Amino acid sequence: MSTDDVSMLRVCGVSKAYGAVQALRDVSFDVAPGTMTALVGRSGSGKTTLLNLVGGLDSPDAGTVFVNGAEVTGLNEAGRSRLRRDTVAYVFQTFGLVPVLSAAENVGVPLRMRRTPREERERRVATLLELVGLAGHADQRPDELSGGQQQRVAIARALASSPRLLVADEPTGQLDAETGLSVMALLRGVVESEGVTALISTHDPVMMRLADRVIRISDGRVSEEPEPPGAAG
């Protein structure tokens, strides 16, 4: 991965405070397209704050964020909604599925927001459920699915509108080790198969090994880790 690649994400001198708490301190880094980056740090180090700035869920006090060459900071509310509809998709630790909707309907939500015609929507949803290994579970509601299955639905939903950047905030944090591993492998797989760029906060050493790159955050400051063994080339 050369540093000459156009960045999918560029974070420049970003700072963010909540009252007296300095959550991010002059954070800068770039993420190249088609790569998987693990963001690692202990609880309270600023991971969620940083991930929320990337998709315009929150705004920094200073600094700029660019996604796919477009400046996120400075977008108005409508622009940030469009960014999350078209370009940046989120996966959360607690899945965030709509309880009254089936797996298929949950995956279809972003496509409805884009007014994708029904037939095309149903085709895309079926393809995505297949991709995440849930083809036989389309009609089940979240409470009829295991945690790992719910997170797979959430990943399918995040991919529905073909985002450029997938942001996942501790996506395996609620899962047992074995289930977490399969979700991590799925995320690694979709970076390859969908050509999506992923930025994933995690405590999991396995995720760090699967990632192309590890960024460590401590007390709101980031530092790069040496390339993980096996990730080169």
Q: Which residues bind Mg ion (CB under 5 A)?
A: 47-48
For residue 2, the minimal CB distance to ligand ADP (Å) is 30
* Residue 55 touches which member of ligand ADP, Mg ion, none, C-beta under 5-8 Å by kind: none
Complex with Mg ion: residue 48 or 161, whichever CB lies closer:
48
- CA-closest candidate to residue 145, choices 101, 188, 204: 101
Q: Which does 45 bind (CB under 5 to 8 A by kind): Mg ion, ligand ADP, none?
A: ligand ADP
- To the nearest whole angstrom, how small is the minimum distance from the Cβ of residue 49 to Mg ion? 8
Q: Which residue's CB is nearer to Mg ion, number 104 or number 208?
A: 208
Least Cβ distance, residue 101 to Mg ion (angstroms): 26
User: Which residues partner with 124 through β-bridges?
Assistant: none
Of 146 and 218, nearer to ligand ADP (C-beta) is: 218
Partner from ligand ADP, Mg ion, none binding residue 102, C-beta < 5-8 Å depending on class:
none
How far apart CA 187 and CA 190 sit, in angstroms, is 5
The binding site for ligand ADP (CB under 6 A) comprises 18, 21, 23, 41, 43-49
- For residues 42 and 209, what is the distance between their CA atoms, to the nearest angstrom? 17
41, interface contact from ligand ADP, Mg ion, none, CB < 5-8 Å by kind: ligand ADP
**Phi, psi of 147, rounded to the nearest 5 degrees:** -55, -45
Nearer to ligand ADP, 110 or 180 (CB): 180
Would you give the end-to-end CA distance of the chain in angstroms? Answer: 8
Q: Where are the beta strands (DSSP E) in 68-183?
A: 70-71, 88-92, 165-169
Token code pair at residue 206: 């396995």
Cβ distance to ligand ADP smaller for residue 149 or 202: 202
Shortest spacing between CB 131 and ligand ADP, in angstroms: 28
| 189 binding partner (options ligand ADP, Mg ion, none; Cβ < 5 to 8 Å by kind) | none
DSSP state, 6? P
Long-range contacts of 121-130 (CB under 8 A, 24+ apart): 124/160, 125/156, 125/160, 128/156, 128/157, 128/159, 128/160, 129/103, 129/104, 129/153, 129/156
| Least distance in angstroms from the C-beta of 39 to ligand ADP | 9
Residue 173 CB, shortest distance to Mg ion, in Å, is: 9
Residue 124 three-state SS: helix
